[in-house]
C-alpha cells in the first residue's frame, strides 16, 4: 500500500479503536468526560497500534536488506535482546529476553537486524512458543545458515497480575535447526548464553 494511503487507513483504524475503548472505559464504570480520561481512548488506541505494528512489517525484507558475503563459519550469538509482546489470550504483556545464534553458510547478516525481527514478531498478538518458532524459521529460511538457535525467557503479566498470580515464574522456550540439532553445538550455545564475560 502506498504510504499516503497507509497513513489514511491507519488514522481510520485509530478512530475505530478509539470509539471502542471509549465504550470499554464507560462499561468499566468510568467517566470518559473527566479531565484525565478525555484523551485516553485515543492514547490507548495509538498505544495498541504501536504494540501490534509487527503485522505491517516484513521480517524477511529486513534481513535481506543487510546480508553480506563473508567466509565466517563459526557461531554468531546475539544475546539478551529485550522483548515486549502481548499474550493473545488476555491482551496483557509478556516480556523478557531473546537469545539468538546462527552459523553462517557464506553469508552474515547485519547484527541489528536480529533484534529488529524479534520486534516485528513480538509486536503482534502472540504465544511465546509461536514467537520463538517464527523468529527461528524466518532466519533459517532467509539466511539459510548452517544452523540457527533461538531461546526466549519471559514473564507473563497474565500469570502475575491476575489468574494464578505467580510473580517469579519465568517461561523458557527454545528452537534449534541444522547444526544446533547436534547436542555439542547446542550445549556450546547454551553455555555461552548462560555465562557473562564481564
Ligand X SMILES: Nc1nc2c(ncn2[C@@H]2O[C@H](COP(=O)(O)OP(=O)(O)OP(=O)(O)O)[C@@H](O)[C@H]2O)c(=O)[nH]1
Catalytic residue among 61, 88, 129, 181: 88
**CB of residue 61 to ligand X, shortest distance in Å:** 26
Nearer to ligand X, 113 or 156 (CB): 156
According to CB under 6 A, which residues from 68 to 87 bind ligand X?
87
Residue 112, Cα to own-chain centre: how many angstroms? Answer: 14
162 binds Zn ion (CB under 5 A): no
Nearer to ligand X, 1 or 170 (CB): 170
DSSP state for residue 21 in the 8-state scheme: H
**CB of residue 92 to Zn ion, shortest distance in Å:** 5
Catalytic residue among 99, 126, 128, 146: 128
Cα–Cα distance, 109 to 113 (Å, whole number): 7
Nearer to ligand X, 110 or 163 (CB): 163
Residue ranges in 59-182 assigned as alpha helix (H): 59-64, 113-122, 128-143, 157-160
129 binds ligand X (CB under 6 A): yes
Cα distances from 14 to residues 20, 42, 109, 193, in angstroms, run 10, 7, 35, 40
Coil, helix or strand at residue 67: strand
Binding mask 43-82 for Zn ion (x = CB under 5 A): ----------------------------------------
| Locus of grid cell 548452517 | 146
174 binds ligand X (CB under 6 A): no
Query: 3-state DSSP helix/strand/coil percent for the chain, to nearest 5?
Result: 50, 25, 25
| Locus of grid cell 499516503 | 4
| β partners of residue 95 | 84, 155
28 binds ligand X (CB under 6 A): no
Residues at the binding site for Zn(2+) are 87, 90, 158
| Locus of grid cell 502472540 | 126
Catalytic residue among 53, 60, 90, 107: 90
Kindly list the catalytic residues: 87-90, 128, 156, 158
Amino acid at each position: 500500500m502506498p504510504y499516503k494511503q497507509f497513513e489514511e487507513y491507519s488514522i481510520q483504524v485509530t478512530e475505530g479503536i478509539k470509539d471502542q475503548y471509549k465504550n470499554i472505559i464507560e462499561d468499566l464504570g468510568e467517566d470518559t468526560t473527566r479531565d484525565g480520561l478525555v484523551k485516553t481512548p485515543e492514547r490507548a488506541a495509538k498505544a495498541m497500534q504501536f504494540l501490534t505494528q509487527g503485522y505491517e512489517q516484513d521480517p524477511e525484507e529486513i534481513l535481506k536488506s543487510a546480508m553480506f558475503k563473508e567466509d565466517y563459519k563459526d557461531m554468531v550469538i546475539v544475546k539478551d535482546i529485550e522483548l515486549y509482546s502481548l499474550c493473545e489470550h488476555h491482551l496483557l504483556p509478556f516480556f523478557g529476553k531473546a537469545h539468538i545464534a546462527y552459523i553462517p553458510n557464506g553469508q552474515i547478516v547485519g547484527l541489528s537486524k536480529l533484534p529488529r525481527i524479534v520486534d516485528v514478531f513480538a509486536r503482534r498478538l502472540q504465544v511465546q512458543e509461536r514467537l520463538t518458532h517464527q523468529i527461528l524459521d524466518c532466519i533459517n529460511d532467509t539466511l539459510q545458515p548452517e544452523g540457527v538457535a533461538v531461546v526466549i525467557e519471559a514473564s507473563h503479566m497474565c500469570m502475575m497480575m491476575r489468574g494464578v498470580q505467580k510473580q517469579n515464574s519465568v517461561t523458557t522456550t527454545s528452537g534449534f535447526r541444522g547444526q544446533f540439532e547436534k547436542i555439542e553445538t547446542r550445549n556450546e550455545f547454551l553455555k555461552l548464553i548462560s555465562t557473562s564475560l564481564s
